[in-house]
């Protein structure tokens, strides 16, 4: 199975982008240790959490999960890593600067996809700032998440 699986779901990207812009411009974030200028932008309420709830209801996902925004600045990268507690994830690009996610099996460009975060992965540098959000799941492995996303939505 490939480490990245795209799927179709209509995310409210305009609203999410507006919320992320608000957080980012006001520097309401903290830098992560995973890479250079990799920003986790936590937001305890608002559009992001509503989107996570709507998504999990739509697919009938029963798992502990969190949602967060992240930004990778121009000419910055993420080092090769595994997620420590997250067993599977969904990444959604909020701008048109799609970043390839690199694995030993290759590079994958995706707009929105399930990601096998238990496989070593990294993100190369780019000339563009990249803005995205991630849903991290703790009780589903990648193959289970892909089966759910490929099944008929409830």
Domains identified in the chain and CATH numbers: 4-150 (2.60.120.620)
Element (H, E) at 43: none
Nearest CA among 12, 70, 77, 74 for reference residue 43 = 70
For helices 13-25 and 47-58, angle between their N-to-C axes, nearest 10 degrees: 150
Question: What letter would DSSP give residue 74?
Answer: T
pLDDT tens per residue across all 154 residues of the chain: 999 999 999 999 999 999 888 887 777 666 665 554 555 665 556 899 899 999 999 999 999 999 988 888 888 888 899 888 999 999 999 988 777 899 999 999 999 999 999 999 999 888 988 889 999 999 999 999 999 999 965 5
- The model carries a pTM of 0.88
């Amino acid at each position: 199975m490939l480490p990245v699986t795209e799927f179709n779901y209509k995310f409210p990207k305009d609203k999410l982008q507006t919320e992320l812009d608000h957080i980012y411009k006001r520097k309401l974030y903290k830098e992560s240790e995973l890479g250079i200028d990799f920003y986790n932008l936590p937001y305890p309420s608002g559009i992001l959490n509503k989107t996570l709830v709507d998504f999990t209801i739509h697919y009938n996902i029963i798992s502990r999960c969190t949602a967060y925004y992240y930004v990778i600045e121009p000419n910055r990268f993420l080092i090769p890593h595994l997620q420590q507690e997250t067993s599977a994830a969904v990444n959604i690009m909020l701008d048109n600067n799609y970043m390839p996610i690199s694995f030993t099996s290759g590079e994958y460009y995706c707009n929105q996809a399930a990601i096998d975060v238990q496989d070593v992965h990294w993100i190369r540098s780019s000339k563009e700032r990249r803005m995205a959000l991630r849903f991290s799941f703790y009780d589903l492995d990648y193959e289970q998440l892909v089966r759910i996303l490929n099944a008929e939505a409830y």
